[in-house]
Amino acid sequence: MSLSSRLVAAWYAPRLTLLTAPLVPFAVAFAAIVAARRALFRSGALRAQRLSVPVIVVGNITAGGSGKTPFAAALTRALAERGWHPGIVSRGHGRATMRSAPIIVVPDADPAEVGDEPLLLARTGIPVVVAADRVAAARALLAAHPQCNVIVADDGLQHYRLARDFEIAVVDAARGLGNGWQLPAGPLREPAARLDAVDAVVALVTPGAGVSWTGPNAWQTTLVGDTLHRVGDPTQTQPASAFTGSGVHAVAGIGNPERFFAQLRSLRIAATGHAFPDHHRFTAGDLALPAARAILMTEKDAVKCIAFADERCWYLPVRAHIDPALVARIEEALRGREAA
């Protein structure tokens, strides 16, 4: 196991470990910087930039995957079905080069240039722009797509320069907030109390895990999907039942690979799991599994494996279920902004 994998595992231990305890002084310093920066924005000493259209931020307070991108995709679909014209901005984590200029993401873009998650979002048909500066990304989006009347920021909870009208924090119910420490001694980007300030906390619940999330403004979501697509030809599909039995392997380069492996188990697929770091840039060697009759992966990983995936490689598309009552609450906030 790599050092980074060991550190992430230690973050989600019940208490500090021999690996994380020496990092506490750095975590205290990080927490002070985070608190000071937030205070500067709240006091107005640092100014947030407000756009001409309302902004919804979907993010998290932990490092690593919490299901925010599938949720952001589900939210934009729900808004589009209700007559809105949403667009998405993202930082584009995992890009080979972090160009300063905003990039308009097209469905056939190179994931190394735009990031794997923005590419998935763009393939839903919603306009997507990536840039480290989400304000610049949003302005480029509105210039290119003036019909957009609401912007969803994927992973922008801590990007305070972008003023927002509704904040959603997504948490992984199974992993929770780990040991409760901020980076680098724990997984928290901001203190747990930050969840009290957001407009909604959406907990991603893994089927069969028996774990839920309660609290103020708490909602739940699940990732649904039971049909696999061939990586090299997505028009070819197979039900999950086709992958039961032996000889099935699974690879995952997401924030929480175990969530993908658990989802496969919920579909009665007993796959041998191979975990990789989040946003891992897969190579042919990563899929060199001669004993595997099938290699399963997430859709996020599949976009990076198309060039070298063989006929054994399949991906599982998932959709987040979003509570209609939450969409109604968000719409109420958006209309309130329009009326102001």
CA angle 170-69-53, nearest 5°?
90
Report how many helices (DSSP H) and strands (DSSP E) the chain contains, helices first: 9, 16
pLDDT of amino acid 2: 74
The Cα 197–Cα 86 span in angstroms is: 24
Task: Decide which of 1.10.3470, 1.10.10, 3.30.1050, 3.40.50 is the CATH code for 32-84+149-222+321-339.
Answer: 3.40.50
Structure confidence by residue, pLDDT tens digits, 300-319: 999 999 999 999 999 999 99
Is 128 strand, coil or helix? strand
Q: Do 94 and 115 meet the contact criterion of CB atoms below 8 Å apart?
A: yes
Q: What is the DSSP string of 107-125?
A: TT--HHHH-HHHHHHHTTT
Q: Is 169 helix (H, G, I), strand (E, B) or coil?
A: strand
- Residue 182: beta bridge partners? 188
What backbone phi and psi angles, to 5 degrees, belong to 2? -70, 165
pTM: 0.92
Q: Are strands 319-320 and 313-316 parallel, antiparallel or unpaired?
A: unpaired
Residue 325 pLDDT exceeds 90: yes
> Would you tell me how many other CB atoms lie within 10 Å of the CB of residue 207?
13
pLDDT-derived band at 255, boundaries 50, 70, 90? confident
pLDDT of residue 83: 96
Radius of gyration of the chain (CA): 20
In the predicted model, is pLDDT for residue 233 greater than 70? Answer: yes
- Residue spans of the domains in the chain: they are 32-84+149-222+321-339, 226-317
Pick the closest to residue 18 from 9, 10, 8 (CA basis). Answer: 10
> Region 5-9: what's the mean pLDDT?
87
Flag whether pLDDT at 92 surpasses 90.
no
pLDDT confidence of 207, banded at 50, 70, 90? low
Q: What is the mean pLDDT of the chain?
A: 92
pLDDT of residue 217: 86
pLDDT > 80? residue 225? yes
